[in-house]
């Protein structure tokens, strides 16, 4: 259930900022059917912005509606709002009355999901830019954020076009599919992002003059350079050296 102050805040967002409803009475029958799927959490067909039918897969980080604390740019926090992160649109969607609303990244600073297992998963925008990959308003998953260095993950969705063809049973109709992509990122003390490839050579290169320190730390603690969680421990140690 949404907190009462969250309902009020969302209402103000709609009135003053024109939050975009995903559902609309002007939709045709096909779009309404897809929206019904969306609201039931069975998002296997995408409407706007893909404007396609018969697309298999999901645009969401998680299809389930999850409780999330949403931090607005004005400092306000909307607590335990039923939400989903639309990775394709790079926007968070919330349930409000009978509609699903997509909140503008201009209003939102970040959000934290409470996952079914009880752990938290956080996303923030305005963390930085990576030319050719993402801009300032892109949401990044926060894996570790220290005073001098951090570890983030960029989630994206891509469309893989179906290849029509015949089989031994006749012509087979295949559907385009939505596929997930992840990019592990290291943010250095200057705020610049570097794509992380989890192997010894590329990981140690990220630490510059402290590569020997991190090599020794990894050896001492039996850390695996191919492990994301062990890489985060190395970055934590690196941060403590700066």
The rounded distance, in Å, linking the Cα atoms of 196 and 190 is 17
The rounded distance, in Å, linking the Cα atoms of 66 and 124 is 17
Is residue 240 domain-shared with residue 165, that is, in the same domain? no
Is residue 186 domain-shared with residue 211, that is, in the same domain? no
Q: What is the pLDDT of residue 175?
A: 72
Is residue 174 domain-shared with residue 242, that is, in the same domain? no
Is residue 15 domain-shared with residue 94, that is, in the same domain? yes
Is residue 125 domain-shared with residue 206, that is, in the same domain? no
**pLDDT tens digits, 201-230:** 999 999 999 999 999 999 999 999 999 999
Tokens of 213: 């320190």
Is residue 83 domain-shared with residue 174, that is, in the same domain? yes
Is residue 139 domain-shared with residue 175, that is, in the same domain? yes
Is residue 204 domain-shared with residue 231, that is, in the same domain? yes
CA angle 107, 112, 117 (to 5 degrees): 155
Is residue 209 domain-shared with residue 149, that is, in the same domain? no
Tokens of 44: 């296997």
The residue with greater pLDDT, 139 or 175, is 139
Q: What is the pLDDT of residue 171?
A: 52
**pLDDT tens digits, 89-144:** 999 988 876 777 888 888 899 999 999 888 999 999 999 999 999 999 999 999 99
Q: Which domain holds residue 229?
A: 197-242
Residue 122 CA neighbour count, 13 Å, CB half: 13
**In 3-state terms, what secondary structure has residue 85?**
strand
Is residue 40 domain-shared with residue 92, that is, in the same domain? yes
The residue with greater pLDDT, 74 or 170, is 74
Q: With 50 as the cut, is the pLDDT of residue 182 above it?
A: yes
- Number of domains the chain is built from: 2
**pLDDT tens digits, 45-74:** 233 444 445 678 889 999 999 999 999 888
For residue 8, give the H/E element and its range.
Answer: helix 4-17
Is residue 164 domain-shared with residue 50, that is, in the same domain? yes
Q: What is the pLDDT of residue 141?
A: 98
Q: Using alpha carbons, select from 211, 80, 85, 55 the residue that is nearest to residue 153.
A: 85
Is residue 27 domain-shared with residue 115, that is, in the same domain? yes
């Amino acid at each position: 259930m949404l907190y009462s102050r969250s309902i009020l805040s969302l209402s103000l967002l709609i009135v003053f900022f024109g939050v975009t409803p995903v559902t609309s009475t002007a939709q045709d029958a096909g779009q309404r059917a897809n929206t019904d799927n969306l609201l039931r959490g069975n998002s296997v067909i995408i409407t706007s912005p893909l404007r396609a039918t018969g697309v298999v897969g999901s645009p969401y980080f998680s299809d389930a509606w999850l409780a999330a604390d949403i931090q607005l740019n004005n400092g306000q926090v909307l607590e335990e709002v039923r939400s989903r992160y639309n990775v394709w649109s790079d926007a968070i969607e919330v349930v409000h009355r009978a509609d699903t609303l997509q909140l503008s990244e201009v209003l939102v600073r970040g959000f934290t999901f409470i996952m079914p297992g009880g752990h938290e998963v956080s996303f923030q925008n305005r963390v930085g830019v990576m030319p050719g990959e993402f801009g300032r308003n892109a949401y990044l998953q926060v894996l570790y954020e220290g005073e001098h260095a951090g570890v983030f993950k960029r989630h994206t969705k891509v469309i893989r076009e179906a290849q029509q063809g015949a089989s031994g049973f006749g012509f087979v109709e295949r559907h385009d599919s939505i596929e997930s992509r992840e990019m592990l990122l290291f943010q250095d003390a200057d705020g610049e992002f570097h794509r992380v490839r989890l192997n010894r050579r590329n990981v140690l290169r990220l630490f510059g003059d402290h590569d020997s320190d991190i090599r020794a730390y990894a050896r001492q603690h039996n850390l695996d350079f191919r492990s994301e969680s062990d890489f985060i421990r190395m970055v934590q140690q690196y941060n403590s050296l700066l």
